[in-house]
Structure 1
Amino acid sequence: MGLRVNNNIAAFNSYRNLQATDKTLNSSLEKLSSGLRINKAADDAAGLVISEGLRSQIGGLTVAARNAQDGVNVAQTADGALGTATSILQRMRDLAVQSANDTNDSTSRTAIQKEITSLTAELDRISAKTSFNGVNLLDGSFAGKQFQVGYAAGDAITFDIKSGAATIAAASATTEVWKSGAFASFSGTAGSNVIIDGVTVDVSGATDQATFVAAVNTALSVKYDVASASTTGFTLTAKAAGAATDASVTFSGAFSAATGAVSTQGAAAVTENPAGTFNTRGLGLSTVSLTTQAAANTAITTIDEALKKVSGARADLGALQNRFENVIKSVNVAIENLTASESAIRDTDMASEMTKFTRSQILSQAGTSMLAQANSASQNVLSLLRG
C-alpha cells in the first residue's frame, strides 16, 4: 500500500459518508420534531401538491359545517317566532268563535275586538323584528338566501322563509282628480283620500308626487316606490320589504299643484296580501273584524287560512333543519376521511422514522470514529521518515 500525505483518500471517503449520514440524521430530527413527513417541497414534491389540495378541502368543509349549523340556527329562530305566531292565531280563532255566538252584545264584541287589535299588532311586530345576525327572517325579504355547505364554489342550499304567494285583487279603472295639490277620493266621493290595498289613505297634505308617496307609505305596512315618473303620470310599485315587485297602481295625468289635472287609476291588480310576509296583511288578516256575528264567522275561515300558511312554513323549516343536520353529519364524515388521507401522505410515521434516526445516529458515531482513524493513518509516514 502506498503511503501518501497530500491526499488522504480514506479520510475523504469517511467524510463523504459522514456527511450523508448527518444529512439523513438532520432530516429525521426535523420529521420527528415536527411530526410531518413533508416539511418542504424537496421532501416529496408530488405528495406536497396532493396534501395541500386535501388541506383545502378539509378547511373548506370545516367552515361549511359551521355554515350548515348557522342554517340550523336560522331555522330554529324562525320556527320559534312562528310558534309564537301560531299561538296568537289560535287565540284569535278562539276569540272569533266566541264572538260568533249571539249571546254577545256590541259591548262584548267591542272588547273582543280590542284584544284582536292587540294580537294583530304583535303579529306585525314579530314579522318585522325577528332576525338572525341582523338579517330579517319573517318580513318576506328572506328569499333566495344561500348557505354554502361544501368546499367547492356553488355547493350551496338555497331556501326562502315565506308565508306564500301574494293575494291579488282586481282593481277597476276609477277617476281621480288632482286639484290644488291633493287627490280627491275614489269613485267621486268627496274628500282627499285614496284607497290602496283596501286601506284608506289621507293624502290631503300631498302637494306633489313625493309627498303623496310618503303619505301612502306612512299608512301602509308595504313600502311603495315611484317606479316611473313623467309629466303625464307616475306608477306606484308595491314592494314587500325590499323584495321583488308584487303589483303596481298607476296614476296618470299632468301633476301640477298650481293648475290641477285629471288623473286616472289604471285597472292594474292591487296587492292585498304581499308575498312572503308573516304580518297581518301578509296573512290576510288586515280586514278581520269581530264586531258582528257575520264578521266573526268570516274571520274564523280567514284565520284558518292564516294558520295553514304559518303551519306550512313551520313544516318547511322543520324539513330544512333536518336537511342541514344531515349535511353536518355528511360533512363531518368527509372531513374525517380526508384528514386520514392527508395524514397518510404528510404526517410522519414516528416508529419508522425513529428506526431510521437510530440507524443514522449509530452510523454518525461510527463515521466520526472512522474519520478519526483515517486521519491518524497518515501519521505512519512519520515513522518511515524517522527511519
Structure 2
Amino acid sequence: MIINHNMNAMNAHRMMSGNTNAAGKSMEKLSSGLRINRAGDDAAGLAISEKMRGQIRGLDQAGRNAQDGISMIQTAEGALNETHSILQRMREISVQASNDTNTADDRKAIGDELVQLKNEIDRISDTTAFNGKKLLNGDLSTALDAASTAKTGVAITGGTISDVDVSKAMAGKTYTLSYTSGTDTLTLTRSGDNAAQSITLTALADQKTISFDTLGVSFELTGTQATVDTLGGDLDTKTIVTAAGSSAASLLIGSNGTADETLSVDFKKMDSTTLGSGVGSYISDKISDNTAVDTKAKADALITVLDNAIKGVSEQRSSLGAAQNRLEHTIANLGTSSENLTAAESRVRDVDMAKEMMSFSKNNILSQAAQAMLAQANQQPQGVLQLLR
C-alpha cells in the first residue's frame, strides 16, 4: 500500500469535476433556453445561427419600412382626396358659370371662389408632409426624374419658334424667352436669377442650343430665318413654366438592400401649376383673378382644364393605391419569411429542454456519486496506520 499518491481519490476527483462541469453547462442551457451560449458549444452552429439572426432582423426591419411606406402613401392619398373634392367643386361652379343666365356679378362671385379654391390646392400641395418630407410639391427627392420634362410649342407674334424642350428643369420655375429683331438674338432668362443665355440665328432652318449648365436646363430652338427676318421690332416675351415636376421615394422592402428589393413610389407635384392638360392650360393659367369665368367661353375652357386636372389626380391616387396594395402583400410575405427563418434558427440554437433535463439529472447523480466515492477513497490510506501498530 502507498500513501503518497492516492490514485483512487485522484480518479474519483477527476470524474467528479467532469460531472460537475457537465451539470453546470446543462444548468446554463436550461436557464438560458439556448443550446449555443458561446462559440465553444457549437462553432459552426453559432456562425449559421448568427447569419440567420441577421436575416431575421433585416426582414423585420423591412416590414417596418413597408409599414412606414404605407403611412406615407396614406398621408399623400388623404391630401389628394381633398384635392379631388376641391376640383369637383371647381368644376361644378364652372358649369354654373357657363350658364348665360348668370350676371357679371354672379360670375365674379364664382371667380372669387375659384381663386380661393385654387389657393387651397396650392396650400395642400405645399404643406402635405410625412416625417418632415414634403410629398406633393415636387421636393421629395433631390434629383428630378424624366417626368419633369415639359415640351411644347411657344408662339411669338409674327413668327414661330417650335419644339422648346425643357429637360430636367427645376419644377415650377419660370423662364422668359425674348427676341430682338435688330440683332436676331433670342435671350432666355430664369426668373429670380441674373443669369441669362442668348443665341443669334444666322442661317435658314438654324438650330441652336441654350444651356444653363449649373441648372441642367437645355432649350433647343428651331425656326426659319426667313420668318424671323420679317419681324419688324422687339416682340413681347413669352413665359415658359416647367410645371410637370415629379419626385420619387425609394422604400427598402428587403433585408439585403439590393436594387430588386427597393420599391420606388412616384409622388408628382400636385398644385395649380401642374394640374391641367399642359403648358398654357394649367389651372394657374386659367385662374389668376376673379375674371376667370367672366365669359361663357372662359368657363367652358376652364371645365376642360379641370377635367384633365381631375384625371391627373385620379391617376396619381391610383398609382399610390397600387403601391400601397403591393406593400401590404410585401408585409405579409416578409412576415412569413421571418417566421420560417426564425423556426430554422431555433432548431439550430435553441435547447431541447426535456433532453437537456435528462442530461442534467444524469450528470448531477454522477457528480454526487463521485463525491461519495472520493470520500471512500480518502479513507483508504488510513488503513496503513493499522500496519504501524
Q: Which residue of structure 2 lines up, in the alignment, with residue 153 of structure 1?
A: none
> 2:87·2:310 contact (CA, 8 Å) conserved in 1?
yes
**1:1-387 to 2 correspondences below 5 Å:** 3-142=1-140, 167-171=150-154, 216-217=191-192, 226=195, 270-271=240-241, 273-276=243-246, 277-283=269-275, 284-288=282-286, 289-386=292-389
> Structure 2: which 5+ residue stretches go unaligned?
158-173, 178-188, 199-209, 222-232, 247-268, 276-281, 287-291
- Cα pair distance change 1:308/1:235, threshold 3 Å: same
Q: Deviations over 1:111-170 (max 9, x none)?
A: 10000000000000011110100111101233599xxxxxxxxxxxxx99x9x6654332
Partner of 1:256: none
Measure, in 1, the Cα distance between the counterparts of 2:348 and 2:196.
61
CA pair 322-144 structure 1, distance change in 2 beyond 3 A: farther
CA change 1:321–1:329 in 2 (3 A) is same
Maintained 8 Å contact 1:172/1:266: no
The residue aligned with 1:208 is: none
Q: Secondary structure at the match of 1:170?
A: strand
Alpha carbon RMSD of aligned pairs, Å?
Answer: 3.6
Question: Deviation at 1:373?
Answer: 0.6
The verdict on how the C-alpha distance between 1:265 and 1:333 changes in structure 2, with shifts beyond 3 A counting, is farther
Q: 1:273 to 1:144 in 2, by over 3 A?
A: closer
- TM-superposed deviation, 1:379: 1.3
Distance in structure 2 (CA, Å) of the matches to 1:63 and 1:108: 57
Tell me, in whole angstroms, the C-alpha distance in 2 between the residues paired with 1:300 and 1:198.
28
- Aligned pairs, how many? 312
Deviation at 1:238, TM superposition (A): 11
Task: Give the superposition deviation at 1:350.
Answer: 1.2
User: 1:318 and 1:99, CA in 2 relative to 1: closer, same or farther beyond 3 A?
Assistant: same
Question: Percent identity among equivalent residues?
Answer: 42
- TM superposition shift of 1:225: 8.8
Equivalent-residue separation in structure 2 for 1:131 and 1:335 (angstroms): 31
Q: Secondary structure at the match of 1:95?
A: helix
| 1:204 counterpart residue number | none
Q: Distance in 1 between matches of 2:327 and 2:337?
A: 15
Going from structure 1 to structure 2, the CA distance change for 1:266 and 1:97 (only over 3 Å counts) comes to closer
* Secondary structure class of the residue paired with 2:388: helix
CA 359–112 in structure 1, closer or farther in 2 if over 3 Å, else same: same
Give the direction of change, closer, same or farther, for the CA distance of 1:248–1:237 in structure 2 (3 Å limit). farther
Structure 2: distance between partners of 1:293 and 1:280: 21
Distance 2:40 2:64 in 1: 35
Contact residue 176 and residue 237 of structure 2 kept, 8 A: no
Compared with structure 1, are the counterparts of its residues 266 and 43 closer, same or farther at alpha carbon in structure 2 (3 Å cutoff)? farther
Amino acid in the other structure paired with 2:14: R
What is the one-letter code of the residue matched to 1:365? Q
Q: Which amino acid aligns with 2:67?
A: Q
TM-score (norm 2): 0.72
Q: Deviations over 1:293-336 (max 9, x none)?
A: 00111111110000010000000111111111111111111111
Could you tell me whether the CA contact under 8 Å between 2:211 and 2:218 is conserved in 1?
A: no
Are the counterparts in 1 of residues 176 and 240 from structure 2 also a CA contact under 8 Å? Answer: no
